[in-house]
Structure 1
Amino acid sequence: MPKEQGQGFGFGLGKMKELAAAIQKAQQVQEGAKQLQEDLEQMEIEGAAGGGLVKVVMSGNQEPIRAEITQEAVDKGLDALSELVAEAMKDAYQKSTDTMRERMEDLTGDLNLPGLGG
């Protein structure tokens, strides 16, 4: 079969401009992601259980920072205290995960590259 001439990559000038714009946007997203990572490391996200009897604080990256346990929680006994700590940890983890997801969606929301999001 004869080769068709002038096919190139099948990109017209308009497609090249779209590709250049997409690459520029991807670079902006990469820079934004780096800043987001730094912001998440500095965040303190609190999870609570038992109406505040136990609080757990994590960074936006789900790194534990501290736990606050009231005397009332201690007085409930070890089993109840263990459950309260676990619930507070789950609450903090869910909040930090939601925060990370929301911030990433804000960052990449208008990036229209095939196979990413949306």
Structure 2
Amino acid sequence: MKNLADIMKQAQQLQGRMEAMQAELDAAEIEGRAGGGLVAVVMSGKGAVKKVSIDPSLMKEDEREILEDLIVAAAADAKHKAEVLAAEKMKSVAGGLPIPPGFGL
């Protein structure tokens, strides 16, 4: 029974670290850029867009489509960075615990 108690204790510790990691990701601000920095999108580590910055030089009616594409590209850049951050945090949270291969958290 001692082994089961150890497993339960490890599971509780993992749950606590997961909750802390989720809070950290929610508070993180990741910036994605596009168009040489003319458009920037800031999002949380969980992927929620928090801010969009657009250089005034792009505020022309005939360049609207370019601006829309740059916003999408900047958001994709920030999302990729957020996913990398989340993967790094997950790796540090699960480190040291005997998690079966192929078991994704």
Matches within 5 A, 1:1-118: 16-75=1-60, 77-114=63-100, 116-117=103-104
Give the structure-2-normalised TM-score. 0.85
SS at match of 1:65: strand
- Give the percent of matched residue pairs that are identical in Structure 1 and Structure 2: 37
For residues 113 and 40 of structure 1, what CA distance do their matches in structure 2 show? Answer: 22
Count, aligned residues: 102
Which consecutive unaligned segments of at least 5 residues does structure 2 have? none
**Of Structure 1 and Structure 2, which has the larger fraction of its residues in helix?**
2
Deviation at 1:74, TM superposition (A): 2.8
Render the CA deviation track for 1:11-70: whole Å, top value 9, x for unaligned: xxxxx5444333222211100111111111111110000111000000111111010000
Amino acid at match of 1:21: D
In the alignment, residue 32 of structure 1 is paired with which amino acid? R
Structure possessing the higher radius of gyration over alpha carbons:
1
Residue 42 of structure 1 contacts residue 59 of structure 1 at CA under 8 Å; is this kept in 2? yes
Aligned CA-pair RMSD = 1.8
Higher relative contact order (CA 8 A, sep 6+): 2
Tell me the CA shift for residue 113 of structure 1.
3.2
